[in-house]
Amino acid sequence: MTNKKIKLAVVFGTRPEAIKLAPVIQQLSHDPQFQVVSIVTAQHRQMLDQVLNAFRIRPQHDLGIMTPNQTLAGIVSQSVEALDRLFKRVQPGGVLVQGDTATTFVASLAAFYNRISVGHVEAGLRTGDRGQPFPEEMNRKLTSALADWHFAPTPSARENLLAEGVDPATIFVTGNTVIDAFQMALAARRNGQGISVPQELASKRLILVTMHRRENQGAPMRSICLGLRDIVKRFADVAVVLPLHLSPSVRSVVQPLLSGVERVWLTEPLDYLDTARMIQLSTLVITDSGGIQEEAPSLGKPVLVLRNKTERPEGVRAGTAQLVGTSRATIFKAAARLLSDARHYETMASAVNPYGD
């Protein structure tokens, strides 16, 4: 009897996909049933490489497609051709993708064209609004239409898929793999060198802030920055730590409004291990990121979500997260309440993480 391994191509392109697939790649690599072939489109370069280094992942194939000021159509057209050629050469028995980026969708499409089965990790997230987040809501729906196996992180993600007519036998509720990645990162940092917060901020209550979403770029991001300025002005014992996304559309708004502002620390993107550590050091987190809103409750950190609609309603229902949108006044009010009302803070901090353990 031959014992042929299943060749599984794991395809990803951006920082969050790499983080959430790292524990999956690790697990599959230890499983004798599988031969894992890691393929990166490298839709992101520096921010992806930071994660690959942190988790010691060495992709077998790197398409290196990122260009300055790239467009969505550019990412998709370059990746679909390159993946099509690669799948024909590598001949995987299955393709695994994660999340909702351009890479996620296009890898599923290229696999479908080559009649290769697709597994989708973090399947079934929906806001119900195709403009929010843009274009991720559509990427998710298109990926669900193409996928053969749907790994839903929560029961409500499963419900979303069932409502769209997905065969229940192909849906598996798994928890969110970000929790595994986060625990790996916290454990890895324990004996190593960590991030050092500037001395003048070290004794302050820290707020970790991240933002990058396309629908927040421009005026909404300006309004968020003004809200952050209001917070540090009102609370002299509070400092904001803001690792800047490398996207020029983010930097051109955030830098003019926040660089040089007292008790606002604008840093280059932190690697994943330092991000985990920063969450640990923070009093609260303000973000439009999906992953950070899933991670922070593991450490009992309240999250204010810079979005009007979320595909992650579980955190809001559990009480660990609050949707604050992008209005300057609303952001200030919600943060001020957490910073000055200990009972309210404790209620949000003690809720259970709905994304798994």
Please count the residues of this chain forming the interface with ligand UD1, following the rule CB under 6 A.
Answer: 22
| Helix-strand-coil split of the chain, %, nearest 5 | 50, 15, 35
Catalytic residue among 45, 214, 222, 328: 214
Using rule CB under 6 A, residue 46 touches ligand UD1: yes
Catalytic residue among 17, 122, 180, 294: 122
CA angle 41, 42, 46 (to 5 degrees): 175
Q: Is 150 annotated in the active site?
A: no
Using rule CB under 6 A, residue 132 touches ligand UD1: no
Q: Is 81 annotated in the active site?
A: no
Using rule CB under 6 A, residue 16 touches ligand UD1: yes
Q: Which residue's Cβ lies closest to ligand UD1?
A: 101
Using rule CB under 6 A, residue 14 touches ligand UD1: yes
What order do you get walking across the sheet with 238-243 strand by strand? 264-267, 238-243, 205-210, 284-287, 303-305, 321-323
Residue 31 CB, shortest distance to ligand UD1, in Å, is 28
Count CA within 13 A, CB hemisphere, residue 133: 24
Using rule CB under 6 A, residue 267 touches ligand UD1: no
Catalytic residue among 120, 158, 212, 263: 212
**Other CB atoms closer than 10 Å to residue 3's CB: what's the count?**
6
Please enumerate in sequence order all residues whose Cβ is within 8 A of that of 96, keeping only pairs 6 or more positions apart, or say none: 8, 9, 10, 11, 21, 24, 118, 119, 121
Using rule CB under 6 A, residue 69 touches ligand UD1: yes
R_g of the chain, CA atoms, integer Å:
20
CA dist., res. 197 & res. 201, Å (int): 7
Using rule CB under 6 A, residue 45 touches ligand UD1: yes
Contact residue for ligand UD1 among 117, 247, 308, 347 (CB under 6 A): 247
Using rule CB under 6 A, residue 59 touches ligand UD1: no
Q: Is 62 annotated in the active site?
A: no
CA dist., res. 82 & res. 341, Å (int): 54
Please enumerate in sequence order all residues whose Cβ is within 8 A of that of 134, keeping only pairs 6 or more positions apart, or say none: 214, 215
Catalytic residue among 136, 180, 271, 274: 136
SS3 272: helix
Using rule CB under 6 A, residue 95 touches ligand UD1: no
- By beta-carbon proximity to ligand UD1, the closer residue of 180 and 215 is 215
Alpha helices, H only, 235-271 = 248-258
Q: What is the x/- site pattern for ligand UD1, positions 194-213, by CB under 6 A?
A: ------------------x-
- Pair 177, 140: CB distance under 8 Å: no
- By beta-carbon proximity to ligand UD1, the closer residue of 46 and 203 is 46
Contact residue for ligand UD1 among 9, 10, 12, 15 (CB under 6 A): 15
| Tokens found for residue 328 | 């300057």
From the list 300, 355, 357, 343, the residue with the least C-alpha distance to 122 is 355
Residue 44 CB, shortest distance to ligand UD1, in Å, is 4
Contact residue for ligand UD1 among 11, 24, 47, 273 (CB under 6 A): 47
Segments of 228-350 assigned E as strands = 238-243, 264-267, 284-287, 303-305, 321-323
Using rule CB under 6 A, residue 274 touches ligand UD1: no
Using rule CB under 6 A, residue 101 touches ligand UD1: yes
- By beta-carbon proximity to ligand UD1, the closer residue of 43 and 108 is 43
Residues that bind ligand UD1 (CB under 6 A): 14-16, 43-47, 66, 68-70, 72, 100-102, 135-136, 212, 214, 246-247
Question: Which positions are annotated as active-site residues?
Answer: 100, 122, 136, 212, 214, 245
